[in-house]
Amino acid sequence: MSLDGTLIALVALGYLGLLFAIAYVGDKRADAGRSVIANPWVYALSLAVYCTTWTFYGSVGRAAATGIGFLPIYLGPTLMAVLWWFVLRKMIRISHANRITSIADFVASRYGKSQLLGGLVTIIAVVGIVPYIALQLKAVAVSVGILLSDPATAAVGQGANARSDDYALYVALLLAAFTILFGTRHLDATERHEGMVAAIAFESLVKLIAFVLVGVFVTWGLYDGPADIFRRAATHPQLARLTTLSAVGGEYAGWASLTLLSMCAIMFLPRQFQIAVVENVDERHLSKAVWIFPLYLVAINLFVLPIAFGGLLLFPQGRVDADTFVLALPLHEGQLALALFAFVGGLSAATAMVIVETIALSTMVCNDLVMPILLRLGLLRSAGSRDLSGTLLGIRRGAIVLVLLLGYLYFRLAGEAYALVSIGLISFAAVAQFAPVMLGGMYWRNGTRNGALAGLVAGFLVWTYTLLLPSFARSGWLPMEFLEHGLFGVSLSRPQALFGLTGLDQITHCLFWSLLANVGCYVGVSLFGRPGVGETAQGLRFVDAFSGAANVPQFWRGSASLDELRELLRRFLGSARADEIFASYGRQIGWHAHAPAQADAALITFAERELAGAIGAASARAIVASVVQEEPLSIDDIMRILDETSEAIAHSRALEQKSRELEAATAQLRAANERLKELDRLKDDFVSTVSHELRTPLTSIRAFSQILFNDPDTDLPRRKEFLGIIVNESERLTRLIDDVLDLAKLEAGRAKWHVTTLDLRDIVADAVAATGQLFRERAIALETRISVGAADVAADRDRVMQVLINLLANAAKFCHAGSGRVELALRQTDGYFQIDVADNGPGVAEHEQQYIFEKFRQAGDTLTAKPQGTGLGLPISRQIVEHFGGRLWLRSTPGSGATFSFTLPARFAAPASPLVREAEGSPK
């Protein structure tokens, strides 16, 4: 059973038409400002342009030969995606800042806008990618052949291959026409193709769905699930071998080199650069793409092994090419619709690759190869050519046709001899040559133009010699002796065993030698040469893209007439676009009614960057230079500019540092100031309270003295009474002043402490004796309970005594005379000795408990009742206790007495010698 050729053609054309419609809508919506691709999912899907027919057809073929040997090609991009966060983001940042539109442009721009370098990269890219294009042509041509052939006859693969040469040319021409329609409809200054990206994302969906459907059909339609397939395969020794690692060629080195190769490919394939960097609309999309894209790779590879094993089980070895299983299996089972859909999937894989790759290559060929040549020949300067955007489009279209025809040529020359994957790997090895100059350019300032040239040339030559030429030789276009015995029979020059290096597969072999030559020349020549002016400036701009791109100075002085500059832009970008650019620049800068006649360096740079978007950095540089009177810079000038810049950067860093320090200092000062204000307020309070407290006794002393003074007739008993009051008040005044002075000394830390080891039991006894009179007078019972054998503490005897007497006196004062009871207890708690003085007086109200230890706060209503003390006893006591490392506190239930307790740290086995020392500071 086979499919009708007309039907296949209709389906293919219909599919291409659908793509075109999607691209058209995408472009229209982009123009209207409602971009369809401003979405991380679309970005991630469009990145899947990585999966070509190599993946769609070739992976199965590779798996049928090497088991999981097809996987490194997808593991590499997964690993690289993890690093995209740094590498790709930097690439995007650099490219958008410099209007870079291709790899060639990137390399040329980085190394001083070198036309030579841009041209070289373009040539390497075109030559390197041609086999890859050939792969797509071969795959589509073969797939058409398969659909047209009759699978019932014995040789599905052979029959297809015989005729596929003819199809390949048609496919190439069709794809060329389609790409021209698609990608070069108009010249876009930004080189962005939103419609194309939308179509590519759609194609990624189509190929994924098609492949998964075939996978599901094979796994569950032909067999009874994956377990069934692998169980059957296990019975064939040859198939069983595929489930082991020995099937994977090259082992350690082979696996690692394929991973490395694909890591380079995902970054440096022209189409990947186009999609990932040039077409990126928002670098934040990366954070989704770094996991969606690898997940896509997993999904499209999930069924590779089941299809490969299923095909091998169904078709006897060699009868059907494993590269065609995806089509041959549904076809063999008579599932024509599924086969046709699989064909569309393969077609979408091929067209996506071809469209993006050829657009990227045509941009390079036009901007970095043809333009510089035309400029050299002086063809673009003739006044006759007014608007060159048509010429540019023409060049690009020519380049697209050229690339596809080269692909066809390679397919005819070498395509038959290799499986799909092997052809693709040749291209991967070619683009890997870009890795050193690209990565070096982004992270190493000292890479020079000459180093990049040397590295690329060396790597490219080694690649050509060890991989490309052998592929021709195997196809019979070069004598096989060349492969077997080397150039002129020198065996050391055998291209696949260079210098006698054997034991590696050809890809690993090529990768090793070419990267060795590449990196060696790049680094070596860079280190032993000196970078030019432009290279240094661009190097800074690229390497410091994240940190200080805006700080890179203008290494350039010159001026041009504004009209000439405008004329130039009009010629390459068209009038409308050029005028718009000037207008927007004018708005930015603030030209009002009229623009100046002379363009300054900033405007010239701006114009050059806009132009670079259309024709590449190197060509833009050359063209702008033609209308600018440039003042050459001497090396001294450059050094001065560099010094100034680095000095400015250093100053700015220093300034940032200083300002941070200043902020910290300010914060400290503010805190200190707050504290001082608080202290000041406290001092004011204190002074006013003290004055008030002093005035009360003074007032009564004065009042009674005055009475005695004014009235000499006062009788003796009254006189005695008044004089008694005066004496009492004077004593109180003295006590008050003593206390105030004492507290001031304590607080200022100027108090003298005579610290000795003393036994608290003695203190208790002495204090009880000293206050005995007071208790007896008020008829209050005092009970002492000492529950320790010894109570040694290190403290000032007089001070501790003062505290204890104060507490006892307070207790005596507040108890009711007659019925009062005070209990004094000395006991030991862990590490401390604690003294409790408990009374059965009225207690202290809840709200007073918290500030009874403040200065001049006394329990009870001081307004109505006559104060019974100075109000300083407790604060002083607390200061003293805390100075010795103890605590003084109050527990009280109003109505049933109060307990004042204090602790002092116990001192065991202490030296008995008295210690006299000054207090170091406030005891707090």
Partner 1 sequence: MSRMTPTGQRLVALFLLGCLLLNFPLLYLFERDATVGGVPLLFVYVFAAWITVIALVALVVERGDPDEPRGRAPRGH
Q: Which x/- pattern, by CB under 8 A, does the window 220-239 give for partner 1? A: -----xxxx-xx--------
Piece of 72-80, 197-205, 373-381, 637-645 that binds partner 1 (CB under 8 A): 72-80
Piece of 122-130, 134-142, 174-182, 654-662 that binds partner 1 (CB under 8 A): 654-662
> How wide is the angle at C-alpha 554 spanned by C-alphas 552 and 559, nearest 5°?
160
Q: Is 512 in the site for partner 1 (CB under 8 A)?
A: no
Query: Are the C-beta atoms of 348 and 207 separated by less than 8 Å?
Result: yes
CA 387 – CA 377 distance, rounded (Å): 18
Q: Is 528 in the site for partner 1 (CB under 8 A)?
A: no
CA 388 – CA 568 distance, rounded (Å): 10
Q: Which two tokens stand for residue 359?
A: 């657009």
Count of all residues that appear for the chain in the document: 924
DSSP reduced 3-state for 899: strand
> How wide is the angle at C-alpha 430 spanned by C-alphas 429 and 436, nearest 5°?
90
Q: Which of 41, 477, 546, 889 binds partner 1 (CB under 8 A)?
A: 546
Pairing mode, strands 781-786 and 821-829: parallel
Query: Are the C-beta atoms of 20 and 203 separated by less than 8 Å?
Result: no
Closer Cβ to partner 1, 226 or 311, answer by number? 226
Q: Which of 31, 484, 647, 656 binds partner 1 (CB under 8 A)?
A: 656
Q: Is 97 in the site for partner 1 (CB under 8 A)?
A: no
Piece of 94-102, 297-305, 379-387, 486-494 that binds partner 1 (CB under 8 A): 297-305
Element spanning 407, H or E: helix 389-414
Q: Rounded to the nearest whole angstrom, what is the least distance from the CB of residue 40 to partner 1 in the complex?
A: 11
Piece of 70-78, 590-598, 711-719, 853-861 that binds partner 1 (CB under 8 A): 70-78
Q: Rounded to the nearest whole angstrom, what is the least distance from the CB of residue 381 to partner 1 in the complex?
A: 40
Q: Is 48 in the site for partner 1 (CB under 8 A)?
A: no
CA 530 – CA 522 distance, rounded (Å): 13
Q: Going edge to edge, which strands form the sheet with 557-561? A: 598-599, 557-561, 629-631
Q: How does DSSP assign 528-541, residue by residue? A: HS---HHHHHHHHH
CA 740 – CA 687 distance, rounded (Å): 10
Q: Rounded to the nearest whole angstrom, what is the least distance from the CB of residue 911 to partner 1 in the complex?
A: 56
Q: Which of 41, 85, 477, 528 binds partner 1 (CB under 8 A)?
A: 85
Q: How does DSSP assign 676-694, residue by residue? A: HHHHHHHHHHHHHHHHHHH
Query: Are the C-beta atoms of 886 and 903 separated by less than 8 Å?
Result: yes
Closer Cβ to partner 1, 626 or 659, answer by number? 659
Q: Which of 10, 14, 86, 381 binds partner 1 (CB under 8 A)?
A: 86
Q: Is 241 in the site for partner 1 (CB under 8 A)?
A: no
Element spanning 462, H or E: helix 449-463
Residue with tokens 């410099």: 98
Q: Rounded to the nearest whole angstrom, what is the least distance from the CB of residue 566 to partner 1 in the complex?
A: 32
CA 189 – CA 574 distance, rounded (Å): 10
Piece of 73-81, 164-172, 374-382, 848-856 that binds partner 1 (CB under 8 A): 73-81
Piece of 247-255, 533-541, 669-677, 760-768 that binds partner 1 (CB under 8 A): 247-255
Q: Is 83 in the site for partner 1 (CB under 8 A)?
A: yes
Q: Which of 284, 386, 670, 754 binds partner 1 (CB under 8 A)?
A: 284
Closer Cβ to partner 1, 651 or 692, answer by number? 651
Closer Cβ to partner 1, 662 or 916, answer by number? 662
Q: Which of 62, 89, 449, 494 binds partner 1 (CB under 8 A)?
A: 89
Q: Which of 162, 298, 480, 727 binds partner 1 (CB under 8 A)?
A: 298
Q: Which of 61, 119, 294, 820 binds partner 1 (CB under 8 A)?
A: 294
Query: Are the C-beta atoms of 414 and 134 separated by less than 8 Å?
Result: yes
Number of residues that bind partner 1 (CB under 8 A): 46
Closer Cβ to partner 1, 291 or 528, answer by number? 291
Q: Which of 243, 561, 645, 689 binds partner 1 (CB under 8 A)?
A: 243
Which 8-state DSSP code applies to residue 866?
P
CA 67 – CA 709 distance, rounded (Å): 125
Q: Rounded to the nearest whole angstrom, what is the least distance from the CB of residue 893 to partner 1 in the complex?
A: 53
CA 496 – CA 506 distance, rounded (Å): 6
Give the contacts of 158 (CB within 8 A, at least 6 positions apart): none
Q: Which of 51, 126, 222, 305 binds partner 1 (CB under 8 A)?
A: 305
Element spanning 784, H or E: strand 781-786
| Side chain identity at residue 146, one-letter code | I
Q: Which x/- pattern, by CB under 8 A, does the window 548-567 give for partner 1? A: x-xx----------------
Alpha-carbon dihedral of residues 112, 113, 116, 121, nearest 10 degrees? 100
CA 440 – CA 679 distance, rounded (Å): 63
Q: Is 244 in the site for partner 1 (CB under 8 A)?
A: yes
- Longest CA–CA separation in the chain, Å: 154
Q: Rounded to the nearest whole angstrom, what is the least distance from the CB of residue 251 to partner 1 in the complex?
A: 7
Q: Is 290 in the site for partner 1 (CB under 8 A)?
A: yes
Q: Is 41 in the site for partner 1 (CB under 8 A)?
A: no
Q: Is 295 in the site for partner 1 (CB under 8 A)?
A: yes
Query: Are the C-beta atoms of 614 and 100 separated by less than 8 Å?
Result: no
- For helices 797-814 and 760-778, the axis angle rounded to 10 degrees is 30
Give the contacts of 763 (CB within 8 A, at least 6 positions apart): 797, 800, 801, 804
Q: Which of 82, 154, 779, 817 binds partner 1 (CB under 8 A)?
A: 82
Q: Is 492 in the site for partner 1 (CB under 8 A)?
A: no
Site residues for partner 1, 400-459, by CB under 8 A, read: none
Q: Rounded to the nearest whole angstrom, what is the least distance from the CB of residue 71 to partner 1 in the complex?
A: 6
Site residues for partner 1, 778-797, by CB under 8 A, read: none
Closer Cβ to partner 1, 200 or 258, answer by number? 258
For the chain, how far is it from start to end, CA to CA, in angstroms?
A: 101
CA 634 – CA 580 distance, rounded (Å): 36
Q: Which of 59, 78, 272, 464 binds partner 1 (CB under 8 A)?
A: 78
Which of 19, 88, 13 has the alpha carbon at shortest distance from 47?
Answer: 88
CA 264 – CA 255 distance, rounded (Å): 14
* Rg from Cα positions in the chain: 47
Which of 397, 487, 406, 377 has the alpha carbon at shortest distance from 123?
Answer: 406
Q: Which of 4, 31, 150, 251 binds partner 1 (CB under 8 A)?
A: 251
- For helices 286-301 and 194-216, the axis angle rounded to 10 degrees is 30
Closer Cβ to partner 1, 85 or 528, answer by number? 85
Q: Which two tokens stand for residue 822?
A: 């005070």
Give the contacts of 550 (CB within 8 A, at least 6 positions apart): none
Closer Cβ to partner 1, 287 or 673, answer by number? 287
Q: Is 696 in the site for partner 1 (CB under 8 A)?
A: no
Closer Cβ to partner 1, 469 or 641, answer by number? 641
Q: Is 259 in the site for partner 1 (CB under 8 A)?
A: yes
**Cβ atoms within 10 Å of 781's Cβ, excluding its own:** 13
Q: Which of 8, 36, 60, 71 binds partner 1 (CB under 8 A)?
A: 71
Closer Cβ to partner 1, 595 or 642, answer by number? 642
Q: Is 64 in the site for partner 1 (CB under 8 A)?
A: no
Q: Rounded to the nearest whole angstrom, what is the least distance from the CB of residue 135 to partner 1 in the complex?
A: 25
Q: Which spans of this chain sit near partner 1 (rule: CB under 8 A)?
A: 68, 71, 75, 78-79, 81-83, 85-86, 89, 93, 225-228, 230-231, 243-245, 251-252, 255-256, 259, 283-284, 287-288, 290-291, 294-295, 298, 302, 305, 546-548, 550-551, 652, 655-656, 659
